[in-house]
Structure 1
Amino acid sequence: MAAVPPRTTTPPLTSTPFHHPSSSPLSFSNSTFPKTPQLFPAITLSTTHILPRNAKFSTSVSGIWDAITGGADSSRQALIAIRRGMVLFRQGDVAGSVAEFDNAIQIDPRQKAYLWQRGLSLYYLDRFEEGAEQFRIDVAQNPNDTEESIWCFLCEAQLYGAAEARKKFLEVGRDPRPVMRETYNMFKDGGDPEKLVDVFSKGRESDYFYASLYAGLYYESQNEAEKARVHVVASCKSPYGQRSDDYMASLAKVHCICRNWE
């Protein structure tokens, strides 16, 4: 996505969770973490990414917290745990990723309000109530996050059914990405996933990937497993799905693994 970066791959390492990236990059490779099946290529993580999606956290509040708790080091350790969790998720170790995300929250409770990655992992462990709670907390912090609103709906559709979940749908601000605006409207009001894919099939590679992924997820919320499989597998096989280091490209692969789809 040229105009808008993809889902943030890793949070920066900082003295407090939501400020400027550290000037000292810290890299990890898969060998740093517990051994898990190598489902995806080795991943190098650095601190040279965009700022987290919500940078409004008060400096003064962060400073007070760090002064009370010695939080500069705890924040760093929590962010390292988040990075480990993200790598484990990419490798297909969903349970391991949640353990790391929960560890990060235990180290620095401030992280919970921003841990959309944890919500995604909870969805694949069928812990839908906890997943919905995570996404609702995140949207409360960032009321313009289209994807978290959709994922909250996906969790609650598994709990209550799509019709009931739609009554609880979290309304958010206007997404600058046309594909996500159309996707949001489809989930919020009901719509045609085939039309969504068709509209974006000849555009940017990232748009086709996202349209295919969310078309599949929409069908999953309607309990139409075969149609869901077709579109999620298509998103994995798309050029963007195969080449991008976008966290959501890894999610599409994890989705197929969890559903035993080729």
Structure 2
Amino acid sequence: MAVPRSTTPFTSTPFHHSSPSFSTSTFPKPPHLFHHITISTTLNLPRKSKISTSVSGIWDAITGGGADSSRQALIAIRRGMILFRQGDVVGSVAEFDNAIKLDPRQKAYLWQRGLSLYYLDRFEEGAEQFRIDVAQNPNDTEESIWCFLCEAQLYGPAQARKQFLEVGRDPRPVMREAYNMFKDGGDPEKLVDAFSKGRESEYFYASLYAGLYYESQNDADNTKVHIVASCKSPYGQRSDDYMASLAKVHCLCRNWEL
């Protein structure tokens, strides 16, 4: 079955785009828009990280960094994720960039930054971020799609498809179908129909990526129909999945009422 994205930012799971779980403080947010978010002081190593403890120690010795800067970088990433969930996309990028300054190793894993850059129309930087991420994990379906989405805005969908990042087989049926649709061209309505009676998470992702596909084609009306539907779906309303928040941010950035 398709497993929803986890609630720790760097733990590899089938749905690995995640939201932090925090316990000591909360930030103000627009009412009725985003889920309650709390902050945890527990830090985890980056997902997909291939840096061993010994190599990390050598890096810190060379750069003058240390455990504290790495810790502060992870905290900055979590702050950025919170701000994005609240609809403060500019603030989220500032935190993600700060994390990179604190610990440059983080850039290779900051898919969250790529998502934020997309919503600031900084498509070239977003595409670069996703390409760096896929270079670290050649099986990252969603980063491949988001790279396409950025490059479709820069060069048009036909050219973006010519330089599409091919990745390994995704274990999630809905994302395999979405990936093939973006890679080869396809019908978003068929994607939604195929998963309309499936699991709640599958319908959410089918609707979200159908809407994003329409956006890559500059079809604003159908984009709105499907992304609003993803937000209003049971999974979109109840899940703490980072992508459920992204669907709401998408509507907020486009001034669409939910």
Tell me the TM-score normalized by structure 1: 0.88
Among 42, 48, 59, the residue aligned to 2:53: 59
Large movers: runs of 4+ above 6 Å: 47-51
Equivalent residue of 1:30, what SS? Answer: coil
The residue identity in structure 1 corresponding to 2:9 is T
Q: Measure the CA separation in 1 of the matches of 2:155 and 2:57.
A: 41
* 2:150 is the counterpart of 1:151: no
Is residue 36–residue 93 contact of structure 1 (8 Å, CA) maintained in 2? Answer: no
Where in structure 1 are there 5+ consecutive unaligned residues?
A: 13-24
Is residue 7–residue 240 contact of structure 2 (8 Å, CA) maintained in 1? Answer: no
Is residue 212–residue 234 contact of structure 1 (8 Å, CA) maintained in 2? Answer: yes
Q: Measure the CA separation in 2 of the matches of 1:234 and 1:77.
A: 37
- 1:21 aligns with none
Q: 1:70 to 1:55 in 2, by over 3 A?
A: closer
- 2:250 aligns with 255
Is residue 150–residue 184 contact of structure 1 (8 Å, CA) maintained in 2? Answer: yes
Where in structure 2 are there 5+ consecutive unaligned residues?
A: 12-20
Q: Measure the CA separation in 1 of the matches of 2:195 and 2:225.
A: 16
Is residue 200–residue 207 contact of structure 1 (8 Å, CA) maintained in 2? Answer: yes
Q: 1:47 to 1:235 in 2, by over 3 A?
A: farther
Is residue 139–residue 167 contact of structure 2 (8 Å, CA) maintained in 1? Answer: yes
Equivalent residue of 1:41, what SS? Answer: coil
CA RMSD of aligned residues (A): 2.0
Q: 1:173 to 1:193 in 2, by over 3 A?
A: same
In the comparison of the two structures, how many residue pairs are matched? Answer: 246
Q: 1:51 to 1:43 in 2, by over 3 A?
A: same
Q: Measure the CA separation in 2 of the matches of 1:232 and 1:84.
A: 25
Q: Deviations over 1:35-67 (max 9, x none)?
A: 554542320243779975413223322121133
Equivalent residue of 1:212, what SS? Answer: helix
Moved more, 80-89 or 47-56: 47-56
Is residue 209–residue 238 contact of structure 1 (8 Å, CA) maintained in 2? Answer: yes
Moved more, 105-114 or 36-45: 36-45
1:155-166 aligned within 5 A: 155-166=150-161
Q: Measure the CA separation in 2 of the matches of 1:53 and 1:200.
A: 28
Q: Measure the CA separation in 2 of the matches of 1:50 and 1:233.
A: 33
